[in-house]
Chains A and B, each alone.
Chain A
Amino acid sequence: MLARARDYADLYLVNAKTAIIGQFQYRLANLMFLVHLVIEPLIYLIVWTNVAEAQGGSVGGYTASTFAAYYIVWTLVRQFNLSLSPFSFEWRIKNGRLAGELLRPVHPIHYDLGFFLGIKVPYVVYWLPAGLILWLIFRPVIELTWWQVAAFPVALMLGFLVRFAMLWLLGLITFWTTRVSAIFDLFFTLELLLSGRLVPLELMPGWAQDIAAWLPFQWAFGFPIEVLIGRLAPDQIVRGFAIQVIWIAVSYTVIHLVWKRGIKHFTAVGG
């Protein structure tokens, strides 16, 4: 049992290292990726700053500097919760790459998870200068308490695990149909609207917030942001952790079940 755990740890470590070394090679690509990352929240931030100013300084309790804090932390959360895209999953199945991966003795999800845990290191390193520049331009206001600082990494990590599981599960649909891009698009649109990515969920209409409460999206995106910028009380944070853990448990159980059925369904294409 202990030896097995050590094997898994080694596996994760090797995959993480490969990801780190691989990603640091592409400096120019990383730079452009950062522009790509920053421009989206920048647009939202400017639009909402305009709205806040037109409304005499604040919208729904958010001022220009709270919006700035929200969308700057947004960029870090976004960098951190990047996961295997279901489009890559589709590619892997269409190209028959999965056939080779199935021959390994370990479930493929471990390779992916190790890789995406490792890639956080270069992603966060490259994020630092971007975060700093945004900070200097937009002057956000965050009043930090020790428990916010302590809770943020936990919320961030659990959030990543929620999102990773959702996207992996989504990728599994490719076992049954290969016309998946429209389904993926629909998913990402729902995520955009109901996760806090587009706008803090508090600003969405009440009915949309009610729907969002029953979906996992906000626990991977809006929740960690709100933890750090101080929109939540300690008991709300603890409750959030619990919901994150529940979503993780549910989605990994579903992955386990779907995977077993899907693998029987799978026929390799190409080689």
Chain B
Amino acid sequence: MLRGLKLFGLFARISTLNEMQYRANFFIQLLQSFISLGTGLAVLAVVFSYTDNLHGWSGGELLAVMGVHILMGGIMRTVIQPNMGRLMEDVQEGTLDYALTKPEDSQVMVSVRQFAIWAVVDVLMGIIVLVWALVSIGNRTTLASALLFVVAMFLGAVMIYCVFLMFTTLAFWFVRVWELMEMFQSLYQAGRWPVGIYPDWLRAGLTYLIPVAFAVTVPAEALTGRLTPQTILIAAAFTLVLMWVSRAVWKYGLRHYTSASS
């Protein structure tokens, strides 16, 4: 675990140094983040010009959900997605061998190689939106709820990683998995709203198939004083299950991997 973290730190530094050569990309990312923030705010403004609460959530509280959504999306695009994208490429090109022949655990290895520094913009923007939201709803945050929020965020990120890894492992069988990633991205968009608004069948899917509920709604619940102890316990248990299953799927996939070329 510790070695994994150290490895991650090292790779992150290399990626960052490399990416620092292309500073223009930072401004493009910044612009894109602002555009998407503007869109999100416009949507909230239109919805709340017609109503003052959506399924029990006020405008300010929904802004908090949006902040968590941007923040989690930033984490995903900084550390999870780039690694899974690289993994997919490696399977297609047959270059995964280079990662597999390293003495480190293969799952750790494929999960820490990439780090997209510019996506950190979204992490910062998410935090700013979140703080702004909390101030606007009259800060009720206690130390306990802040701690719960951090725990819920951590569990949510781990769950997203596990599901992402399982999807990517499918690349061992189907080479065109980009569509799957696209699908994942659009399902993640559903997390912009608290999952309570969705009909049961969709809410179940967004909770246990794609854990958007745990990744976004639950941390937002922690901050707005809605979180029950049961929910966080279920989140923790489900995280453990996903870790175990995704590990098994990865091992199984690896046994099926035959280097594609050269």
A→B interface (CB under 8 Å): 26, 28-29, 32-33, 35-36, 39-40, 42-43, 46-48, 50-51, 54-55, 59-60, 179, 181-182, 185-186, 189, 192-193, 198-199, 203-205
Q: Using Cβ atoms and an 8 Å threshold, which residues of chain A touch B179?
A: 28-29, 32-33, 36
Q: Using Cβ atoms and an 8 Å threshold, which residues of chain B touch A192?
A: 39
A43 nearest CB across to chain B (Å): 5
Supply 13 A–B pairs (Cβ within 8 Å), ascending by A.
A26-B176, A33-B182, A35-B186, A36-B179, A40-B189, A43-B190, A43-B193, A46-B202, A51-B54, A59-B51, A179-B24, A181-B32, A205-B49
Q: Using Cβ atoms and an 8 Å threshold, which residues of chain B touch A50?
A: 54-55, 197
State whether A204 touches B55 (Cβ < 8 A): no
Identify which of A46, A181, A186 contacts B199 (C-beta below 8 A): A46
Interface string of B7-43 (1 = CB under 8 A from A): 0000000000000000010001001100110110011
State whether A55 touches B189 (Cβ < 8 A): no
State A48–B28 Cα separation when bound (angstroms): 33
State whether A204 touches B46 (Cβ < 8 A): yes
State A151–B43 Cα separation when bound (angstroms): 31
Identify which of B35, B49, B50, B176 contacts A186 (C-beta below 8 A): B35
Q: A46-B198, A46-B199 are known contacts. Are A55 and B51 too (CB-CB below 8 A)? A: yes
State A38–B158 Cα separation when bound (angstroms): 27
B136 nearest CB across to chain A (Å): 20
Q: Using Cβ atoms and an 8 Å threshold, which residues of chain A touch B51?
A: 51, 54-55, 59
With an 8 Å Cβ cutoff, the count of chain B residues facing the other chain is 34
B47 within 8 A of A: yes
For the complex of A and B, list the 8 residue pairs with the smallest distance between their C-beta atoms, beginning with the closest.
Answer: A32-B179, A182-B31, A29-B179, A39-B186, A51-B51, A32-B183, A36-B186, A54-B51
Interface secondary structure of A, over-half rule: helix
Looking across the interface, which residue of chain B has its beta carbon closest to that of A59? B50
Looking across the interface, which residue of chain A has its beta carbon closest to that of B180? A32
B110 within 8 A of A: no
State whether B176 touches A199 (Cβ < 8 A): no
Identify which of A28, A42, A189 contacts B202 (C-beta below 8 A): A42
B171 nearest CB across to chain A (Å): 13
Which positions 173-189 of chain B face chain A at CB distance < 8 Å?
174, 176, 179-180, 182-183, 186-187, 189
Q: Using Cβ atoms and an 8 Å threshold, which residues of chain B touch A33?
A: 179, 182
State A30–B199 Cα separation when bound (angstroms): 25
State whether A181 touches B28 (Cβ < 8 A): yes
B52 nearest CB across to chain A (Å): 9
Looking across the interface, which residue of chain B has its beta carbon closest to that of A28? B174
Identify which of A40, A47, A179, A182 contacts B54 (C-beta below 8 A): A47
A127 nearest CB across to chain B (Å): 16
Q: A42-B202, A50-B54 are known contacts. Are A189 and B38 too (CB-CB below 8 A)? A: yes
State whether B197 touches A47 (Cβ < 8 A): yes
Q: Using Cβ atoms and an 8 Å threshold, which residues of chain A touch B180?
A: 32
B87 nearest CB across to chain A (Å): 19
A9 nearest CB across to chain B (Å): 33
State whether B186 touches A55 (Cβ < 8 A): no
Q: Using Cβ atoms and an 8 Å threshold, which residues of chain B touch A193?
A: 39, 42
B53 within 8 A of A: yes
State A193–B43 Cα separation when bound (angstroms): 8
State A43–B32 Cα separation when bound (angstroms): 22
State A16–B55 Cα separation when bound (angstroms): 47
State A48–B50 Cα separation when bound (angstroms): 10
Q: Using Cβ atoms and an 8 Å threshold, which residues of chain A touch B24?
A: 179
A271 nearest CB across to chain B (Å): 21
State A54–B52 Cα separation when bound (angstroms): 9
Identify which of B54, B176, B189 contacts A54 (C-beta below 8 A): B54
State whether B50 touches A51 (Cβ < 8 A): yes
State whether B202 touches A47 (Cβ < 8 A): no
State whether B174 touches A46 (Cβ < 8 A): no
Q: Using Cβ atoms and an 8 Å threshold, which residues of chain A touch B47?
A: 47-48, 51
Extra pairs beyond A39-B183, A46-B198, A185-B31 (7, CB < 8 Å)? A33-B179, A36-B179, A39-B190, A43-B189, A185-B35, A203-B50, A205-B46
